[in-house]
């Protein structure tokens, strides 16, 4: 269940980072962080998809933000389906924002997104059965908490 949830979670973080990196006039500290997040999470997506294949579970196809926002649940359109996931409205706001507003929104949203990933990873550390997934969860907690600290510091200066 960890990999099946963390894959779309990571995919959304990559999508958010791509949105930000496509914009002009964004503080270099923020674009550097977005690049770092993509570089960390894209290989983890591949690794988790490999686990699902090895375990005989179907891999998760790439999802658009519209798919991620409601999780296919009737009546849940636009509502986050997992811890820290951005809603359709959140993703639209980020897509439409420019300049300093976009940088601040990205940081604020990514802090919440990372906090959700940390909760998911802590649950895997506590309850996980697969040693590689537990190890990845430890790495996620460490890396994403450091990134949260960095994002909060940058946010305070924008």
Concatenate the DSSP letters of all residues of 101-140 into one string.
HHHHHHHHHHHHHHHHHHHHHHHHHHH---HHHHHHHHHH
Query: Is it the case that residue 79 has pLDDT exceeding 50?
Result: no
The whole-angstrom separation of Cα 70 and Cα 137 is 25
Query: Is it the case that residue 70 has pLDDT exceeding 90?
Result: no
For the segment 32-48, the average pLDDT, to the nearest whole number, is 96
Enumerate domains of the chain plus CATH numbers. Answer: 2-57+85-155 (1.20.1260.10)
Three-state DSSP at 24 gives: coil
91-142: pLDDT as tens digits: 999 999 999 999 999 999 999 999 999 999 999 999 999 999 999 999 999 9
Contact criterion met (CB below 8 Å) for 3 and 104: no
Contact criterion met (CB below 8 Å) for 113 and 86: yes
Q: What is the pTM of this model?
A: 0.84
């Amino acid at each position: 269940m960890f990999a099946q949830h963390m894959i779309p979670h990571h995919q959304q973080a990559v999508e958010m980072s791509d949105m930000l990196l496509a914009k002009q006039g964004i503080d270099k500290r923020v674009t550097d962080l977005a690049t770092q997040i993509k570089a960390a999470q894209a290989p983890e997506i591949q690794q988790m998809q490999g686990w699902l294949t090895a375990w005989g579970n179907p891999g998760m196809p790439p999802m658009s933000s519209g798919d991620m926002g409601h999780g296919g649940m009737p009546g849940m359109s636009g509502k986050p389906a997992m811890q820290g996931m951005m809603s359709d409205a959140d993703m639209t706001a980020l897509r439409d924002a420019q300049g300093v507003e976009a940088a601040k929104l990205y940081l604020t949203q990514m802090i919440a997104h990372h906090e959700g990933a940390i909760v998911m990873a802590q649950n895997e550390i506590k309850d996980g059965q697969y040693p590689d997934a537990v190890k990845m969860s430890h790495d996620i907690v460490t890396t994403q908490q450091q990134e949260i600290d960095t994002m909060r510091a940058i946010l305070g200066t924008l």
